[in-house]
Amino acid sequence: MSQNNKTPHNKNQATFILDGKTIPFTEGQTIIQAAMASGEYIPHLCFNPEFKPHGSCKICTVTANGRQAASCTQQTQADMVVESNTKPINDERRALLQMLFVEGNHFCPSCEKSGDCQLQATAYELNMMSPHFDHFSPDRPLDSSHAEYLLDYNRCILCSLCARASSDVDGKNVFSLAGRGIKTHLIVNAKSGKLADTDFTGDDKAAHVCPVGVIIKKRVGFAVPIGKRSFDEHPISATPHPKVRDV
């Protein structure tokens, strides 16, 4: 492959089709990476452009050449035909969101992350009107041991972004997934199981990547009023990853 192929907007640039639009891509990009580089939005939760794709939430599911695949992990191929914003796919995404809502305990009105939460914003984007399924109402105690940060596990969607940030960026491994199946849960790297007993600090990348409201800075409660938050101002499809503000 010639060097030129890697320059964007080159006539010889490899492209694929996303919902009828021609999108350029470079070798090795996954569908969502290429789409986002072109300003196209594909709903997603466990994907964050700064990290290696994980492929677990499946919200980013698309059909690629007729086969369903997670667009955050599916490699792009030249002339691939990808469908994303279609009714059947959005119906499925909505059902997956509903699953995430009933699996945890999400009381949006009382959540500090409300308006900045990608789960909530994606639910708005996809017109999710109700949780549809019966709530699991799991018992997930808070961890308020840390001086500056609170962990509200009720809202964890197990996307592992905090774990990836902590190990890949901070070099710390503060967070890990534990358990199996519906009992999968997040743990911290301390025998006590408490965040205060880890080397976590507010300067960690891991403190700022949670797409929902688990890792919450203490004592800044509602500094930005509801109504003025990222996804109040723009829908998530316009700014999928707003500038991180300390919530």
Partner 1 sequence: MLSQDNTHSDYLDSILSRHQHNTHNLLQMLREAQEHYGYIHSEAIDYLAQQLQSPRSMIEGVASFYSLLYLQPQGDYRVLFSDNITDRMLGNIDLMESMCGQLWVEVGKVSEDGLVSINTTSCTGMCDQGPAVLINNIAINHLTQDRINSLCELIRERVPLSGWPLEFFAIEDNIYKKDILLDSNFKSGSALAEVLKRSSEETLQEIKTSKLRGRGGAGYLTGSKWEFCRIAVSEQHYVVCNADEGEPGTFKDRVLLNTYADMVFEGMTICAHVINAKKGFIYLRGEYRYLLDHLNAILQRRRQQGLLGNNIFGHANFNFDIEIHLGAGAYICGEESALIESLEGKRGTPRNRPPFPVTSGYLNQPTVVNNVETFCAASLIGLHGGAWYADVGIETSSGTKILSVSGDCARPGLYEYPFGVTVAQVLADCGAKNTQAVQISGPSGICIAANEFERRIAFDDLPTAGAFMVFDESRDMFEVARNFVHFFKHESCGFCTPCRVGTSLLSNMMNKLANGHGSPYDFTEIEKLNVLLLSTSHCGLGHSACNPVLDTIAKFRPAYDKRLTHKEYIPAFDLDYALSQARQMTGRDDTGAHLERIHVSK
Q: Should residue 163 be labelled a site residue for ligand FES when binding is judged by CB under 6 A? A: no
Q: Should residue 128 be labelled a site residue for ligand SF4 when binding is judged by CB under 6 A? A: no
Please say which residue, 40 or 143, places its beta carbon nearer to ligand FES: 40
Q: How many Cα atoms occupy the beta-carbon half-sphere of 38 within 13 Å? A: 20
User: Which of 23, 72, 123, 162 touches ligand FES by CB under 6 A?
Assistant: 72
Q: What is the largest CA-CA distance in the chain?
A: 58
Distances (CA, A) of 133 to 99, 103, 117: 7, 9, 21
Q: Which stretch binds ligand SF4 (CB under 6 A): 8-16, 80-88, 155-163, 188-196?
A: 155-163
142: DSSP letter: -
Please say which residue, 59 or 64, places its beta carbon nearer to ligand FES: 59
Q: Which stretch binds ligand FES (CB under 6 A): 13-21, 38-46, 125-133, 237-245?
A: 38-46
Q: Contact letters (x/-) for partner 1, 31-60, by CB under 8 A?
A: ----------------------x-xxxxx-
To the nearest 10°, report the CA torsion of 51, 206, 238, 31: 20
47 binds, among partner 1, ligand FES, ligand SF4, none (CB under 5 to 8 A by kind): ligand FES
Q: How far apart are the first and last CA of the chain?
A: 45
Separation CA 74–CA 85 (nearest Å): 17
44 binds, among partner 1, ligand SF4, ligand FES, none (CB under 5 to 8 A by kind): ligand FES
Is beta strand 81-83 parallel, antiparallel or unpaired with respect to 15-18?
parallel
Q: Should residue 175 be labelled a site residue for partner 1 when binding is judged by CB under 8 A? A: yes
**Of the candidates 96, 90, 122, 94, which has an alpha carbon nearest to the alpha carbon of residue 108?**
122
Q: Should residue 157 be labelled a site residue for ligand SF4 when binding is judged by CB under 6 A? A: yes
Tell me which residues in 73-102 interact with partner 1 (CB under 8 A). Answer: 73, 75, 92, 95-96, 99-100, 102
96 binds, among ligand SF4, ligand FES, partner 1, none (CB under 5 to 8 A by kind): partner 1
Scan for tokens 């500090």, then name that residue: 112
At how many degrees (to 10) do helices 87-103 and 118-125 cross? 140
Separation CA 159–CA 211 (nearest Å): 8
In the complex, which residues of this chain contact ligand SF4 (CB under 6 A)?
A: 156-162, 175, 186, 209-210, 212, 214-215
